[in-house]
């Protein structure tokens, strides 16, 4: 299923017109393993993509790109919880909908996050007060060195804010093939963010939470099928308490979220907005008018346009607030993933 320099334009939600030497669709763990072994023999780079909704492809990829399309949703239950085993190639939002249709609650706050199930643990995706780590039971990874599938239980995944072991020790030489979920039958709605605060915890249903989340996301986030984007481009920065207090003295309306660590999380979108960068455009890349945290492909943007735009946003926020934003999106060069902060510094 490869041709001469296959295009990856349809395989990344920024819609960047880059190519790869080999493009393979894998519907089984074995197909991923065979593609990896083949790339090893050629000593060429290897990259696994889901829907390409969290990558910035900086240039043509000099090796094999595997699109993980391992499907399957298996549902078991015990007295206290529903237990799900989900293939890495299932669409994330579709999983959220499917569970609700079956009367299974717990994923509703994570509606409309783009991408595949297999990508969710890498980022420890989160939204509106819920993170993947809150619902994950385990992650099954294929060890490409020996062909074995290993199960990492939640506590072994080293989940942190937009971080996990899959960005570190398990970044290369492994492929996520399935994710296990444990969703409690004792449903407790999480209504701590945005318009969810207006819902009545005594009467609210999971479907109402789901619909409210979808409405909020759609009001500020462009549909990648229409306007190329990767959702949030930057992480929300976490800064020392003292620095946050100094900033609050100057900007009393600054959103801030105290963390258990004693540090304070800020809203990157607000910081960018206060620099009046909404609509800023470099080449074909622009800061979204509705949500400053989103960089969009306004018109035939190149990877370099996005790098230049991200660099400018980071510099202006840094100059105004002395807070240095880090990309949430993964930067991929010809040979593989690179340090995103270094690229835009």
User: Does 328 qualify as catalytic in the annotation?
Assistant: yes
* Nearby residues of 160 by Cβ (< 8 Å), 6 or more positions away: 124
Residue 313 and residue 324: Cα distance in Å, rounded? Answer: 10
Residue of 23, 69, 154, 162 marked active site: 162
| Element housing 209 (H / E) | helix 206-220
Residue of 39, 119, 328, 330 marked active site: 328
User: Does 232 qualify as catalytic in the annotation?
Assistant: yes
User: Does 23 qualify as catalytic in the annotation?
Assistant: no
Residue 300 and residue 284: Cα distance in Å, rounded? Answer: 5
Paired tokens of 155 = 């506590």
What does residue 236 show for φ and ψ, rounded to 5 degrees? -75, 120
Residue of 53, 119, 232, 314 marked active site: 232
Residues in the chain: 345
Chain centroid to Cα 43, Å, comes to 29
Residue 5 and residue 9: Cα distance in Å, rounded? Answer: 12
Alpha carbon distances (Å) from 13 to 140, 211, 284: 26, 23, 15
Place of tokens 């840094």: 318
Residue 154 and residue 134: Cα distance in Å, rounded? Answer: 9
What secondary structure letter does DSSP report for 141?
E
Per the DSSP assignment, residues forming a β-bridge with 330 are: 55
Residues with active-site annotation: 162, 232, 328
């Amino acid at each position: 299923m490869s041709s001469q320099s296959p295009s990856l334009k349809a395989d990344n939600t920024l819609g960047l017109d880059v190519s790869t030497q080999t493009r393979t669709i894998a519907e089984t763990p074995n197909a991923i393993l065979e593609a990896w072994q083949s790339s090893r023999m050629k000593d060429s780079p290897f990259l696994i993509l889901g829907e390409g909704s969290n990558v910035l492809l900086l240039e043509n990829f000099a090796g094999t790109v595997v699109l993980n399309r391992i499907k399957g949703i298996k549902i078991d239950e015990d007295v206290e919880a529903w237990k799900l085993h989900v293939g890495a190639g299932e669409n994330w939002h579709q999983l959220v909908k499917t569970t609700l249709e079956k009367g299974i609650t717990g994923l509703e706050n994570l509606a409309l996050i783009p991408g595949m199930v297999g990508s969710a643990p890498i980022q420890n995706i989160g939204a509106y007060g819920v993170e993947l780590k809150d619902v994950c039971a385990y992650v099954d990874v294929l060890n490409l060195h020996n062909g074995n599938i290993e199960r990492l239980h939640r506590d072994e995944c080293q989940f942190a804010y937009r971080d996990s072991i899959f960005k570190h020790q398990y970044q290369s030489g492994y492929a996520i093939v399935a994710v296990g979920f444990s969703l409690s039958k004792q449903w407790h709605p999480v209504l701590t963010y945005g318009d969810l605060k207006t819902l009545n915890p005594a009467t609210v249903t999971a479907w109402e939470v789901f619909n409210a989340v979808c409405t909020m996301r759609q009001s500020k986030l462009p549909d990648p099928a229409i306007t190329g984007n990767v959702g949030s481009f930057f992480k929300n920065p976490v800064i020392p308490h003292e620095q946050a207090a100094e900033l609050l003295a100057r900007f009393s309306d600054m959103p801030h979220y105290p963390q258990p660590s004693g540090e304070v999380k800020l809203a990157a979108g607000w910081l960018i907005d206060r620099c009046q960068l909404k609509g800023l455009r470099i080449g074909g890349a622009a800061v979204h008018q509705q949500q400053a945290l989103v960089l969009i492909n306004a018109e035939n943007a190149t990877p370099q346009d996005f790098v230049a735009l991200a660099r400018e946003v980071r510099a202006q926020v840094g100059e105004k607030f002395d807070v240095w934003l880090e990309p949430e999106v993964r930067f991929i060069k010809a040979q593989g993933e690179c340090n995103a902060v270094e690229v835009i510094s």
